[in-house]
């Protein structure tokens, strides 16, 4: 697909390079050389803009509107159980929300049925939802950047304009994520109980994608301008939560 | 940047390092103000910053050597 920003940016860089080199060595004119260098800087900045940048407000509105649909579904079903974020084989992280728990079904069994919306096995019943996607407007969606957990969380939260900065500490199966100055949260009560707040929901997806293991939000609390989220990395064979 | 070049050229400014310092300032301030989305790490800011540091160090050394 034709990437306009890259092509025009690189054209400007090429023209600026020729202008600056010719002005400096042939014309010996400093202002024209500076103009050429300025064009190189402008062209490089233009080339670095992703192909379809969305306005920040649009990104947040898109994410909020997806939360309203989930809220309606959770309210219709009367669900109050906490969601389990499960990474699928395709890389997408989905949320399993139990309606009825039996304790006889492992998370592994659910992961084999993530293409369905309703999961029913033995006495267990639940729905599989697509949580608000952290990749909207982000040139590197969650799961593609895998260098370390903090980098992945930054791409998921900071690049999506959901938070100013983020840090994470892992202790055995618990991951504590500190989200500084979270913005763009939703007011849907049931969504917040089941899926967690919007920043926590996205953080849980990022952690699940990083470890390739199911994750559940244990606790979240506000401390000044920060949101502290405690996430538990679960085992695939765990059946306590289903 | 175009306005900067025009204005400084009108003032007969012929020091390239001066133009580069101004470009660095303009780029960093604009970047901080508008925070445009980028597909990679900001190499331009790093490059301009290194040039600015180099210019500053050479100027300081010139002053120190003269004194």
Predicted ipTM of the assembly: 0.86
Nearest Cα to Cα of residue A236 among A102, A83, A87: A87
Return the top range by mean pLDDT from A11-15, A97-101, A130-134, A166-170. A11-15
Q: Which of A38, A53, A137 sits opposite B5 (nearest CB)?
A: A38
Question: What is the band of A229 on the pLDDT scale with cuts at 50, 70, 90?
Answer: very high
| Structure token pair of residue B27 | 């780029």
pLDDT per position as a tens digit, A40-70? 999 998 888 877 666 667 777 777 788 888 8
Query: What chain A residue is nearest to B3 in terms of C-alpha separation?
Result: A35
Task: Supply the pLDDT for residue A53.
Answer: 62
Minimum distance, in Å, between the CA of residue A30 and any CA atom of chain B: 6
Minimum distance, in Å, between the CA of residue B11 and any CA atom of chain A: 11
Arithmetic mean of pLDDT, A189-202: 89
Minimum distance, in Å, between the CA of residue A38 and any CA atom of chain B: 6
Q: What is the DSSP string of A80-119?
A: -SPPEEEE-TTS-EEEEEEEE--S---HHHHHTTTTSSEE
Check whether A213 has a pLDDT greater than 70.
Answer: yes
Task: Supply the pLDDT for residue A137.
Answer: 46
Q: Which residues from chain B sit within 8 angstroms of residue A35, using beta carbons?
A: 2, 5
B44 or A89: whose pLDDT is higher?
Answer: B44
pLDDT per position as a tens digit, A99-111? 888 777 788 888 8
Which secondary structure element, helix H or strand E, spans residue B61, and what is its range? helix B43-66
Model pTM score: 0.67
CA distance B54 to B21: 10
Check whether A233 has a pLDDT greater than 80.
Answer: yes
| Residue B58: burial class (beta carbons within 10 Å; 0-12, 13-18, 19+) | exposed
Q: Which of B5, B37, B40 sits opposite A34 (nearest CB)?
A: B5
CB atoms within 10 A of CB A14: 13
Question: What is the band of A36 on the pLDDT scale with cuts at 50, 70, 90?
Answer: very high
């Amino acid at each position: 697909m034709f990437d306009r920003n890259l092509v025009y940016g690189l054209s400007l860089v090429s023209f600026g390079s020729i202008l600056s080199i010719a002005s400096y060595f042939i014309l010996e004119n400093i202002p024209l050389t500076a103009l050429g260098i300025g064009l190189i800087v402008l062209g490089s900045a233009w080339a670095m803009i992703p192909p379809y940048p969305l306005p920040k407000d649009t990104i947040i509105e898109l994410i909020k509107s997806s939360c309203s649909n989930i809220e309606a579904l959770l309210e219709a079903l009367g669900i109050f159980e906490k969601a389990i974020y499960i990474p699928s084989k395709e890389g997408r992280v989905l949320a399993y929300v139990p309606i009825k728990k039996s304790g006889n079904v492992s998370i592994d069994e659910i992961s084999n049925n993530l293409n369905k919306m309703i999961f029913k096995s033995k006495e267990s019943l639940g729905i599989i939802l697509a949580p608000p996607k952290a990749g909207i407007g982000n040139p590197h969606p969650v799961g593609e950047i895998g260098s370390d957990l903090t980098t992945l969380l930054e791409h998921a939260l900071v690049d999506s304009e959901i938070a100013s900065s983020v840090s994470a500490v892992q202790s055995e199966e618990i991951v504590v994520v500190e989200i500084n100055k979270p913005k763009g949260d939703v007011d849907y009560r049931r969504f917040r109980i089941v899926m967690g707040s919007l920043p926590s929901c996205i953080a849980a997806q990022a952690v699940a994608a990083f470890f390739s293991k199911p994750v559940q939000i244990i606790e979240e609390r506000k401390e000044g301008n920060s949101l502290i989220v405690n996430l538990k990395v679960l085992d695939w064979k765990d059946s306590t939560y289903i | 940047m175009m306005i900067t070049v025009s204005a400084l050229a009108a003032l007969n400014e012929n020091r390239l390092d001066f133009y580069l310092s101004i470009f660095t300032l303009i780029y960093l301030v604009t970047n901080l103000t508008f925070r445009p989305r980028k597909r990679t790490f900001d190499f331009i800011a790093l490059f301009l910053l290194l040039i600015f540091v180099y210019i500053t160090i050479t100027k300081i050394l010139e002053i120190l050597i003269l004194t």
